[in-house]
Amino acid sequence: MILPKVEIKKILYATDLSEGARYAFAYAVNLANAYNASITILHVLFEDQSIDSVAAFYIGKEEWLDIKKRTYEGAREALIGKKRDNVAMEEVLQKFTEQAQQESQGEPFVTDEIIVKSGKPEDHIIEQSLQRNCDIIVMGCHGKGPLVETVIGSTARRVLRRSTMPVFVVPLPKE
């Protein structure tokens, strides 16, 4: 059997800003250094669809969407002024990347871009990995017990099921 040469030029690192995702970032950086690849960072602000359906049932879809829009716009203006959506999260991820570069001890890595989206994490992870021609997805998995793992680890499972490219899932150490 002749093994094909594995080339990794572009890594999609998906983060939910958890401890497990931070731990997985070390693997993304090491892979990037080993293969001379670049890293695209993706964070998805989870939107709970069950809240939408319950609220729409009680007050009607149009009324709920109007309330949601007014609340979102008010909160956005209060928190970040008139800046574009998700700019605060992008700044957090940019600072995180800069700190990681300083702490990498001579092992610099290249980040292509930082992407922040809203919606279902697995949908955006798959979509962005394909749009950006990534070769591998790196993400953490931090379930600690049957109930938590069912809820939290489900994103990693859904990405694994749907992805057409390799997915490197890094569990949080037991320590």
Q: Residues 53-99: pLDDT tens digits? A: 666 666 777 876 777 676 666 655 655 554 455 666 787 788 888 88
pLDDT at 73: 65
Least confident of 61-75, 97-111, 117-131, 157-171: 61-75
Q: What is the pLDDT of residues 4-53, one digit of tens each?
A: 888 999 999 999 888 888 889 999 999 999 999 999 999 987 665 556 66
**Helix axes 121-131 and 154-162, enclosed angle (nearest 10):** 40
pTM here? 0.74
pLDDT at 137: 97
Sheet containing 167-171, strands listed edge to edge, beginning at the edge strand earlier in sequence: 110-119, 38-46, 10-15, 136-141, 167-171
Provide mean pLDDT across the span 116-128.
92
pLDDT at 163: 95
Query: Domain segments of the chain: what residues?
Result: 10-47+86-171, 48-82
Tell which CATH classification among 3.40.50.720, 3.40.50.620, 3.40.640.10, 3.40.50.970 matches the domain 10-47+86-171. 3.40.50.620
pLDDT tops 90 at residue 147: no
- In contact, 25 and 13? CB cutoff 8 Å: yes
CA distances from 37 to 25, 53, 144, 156 (A): 14, 42, 31, 22
pLDDT at 160: 92
Banded pLDDT at 151 (limits 50, 70, 90): very low
pLDDT tops 50 at residue 152: no
Rounded distance, CA 25 to CA 29, Å?
6
pLDDT at 119: 85
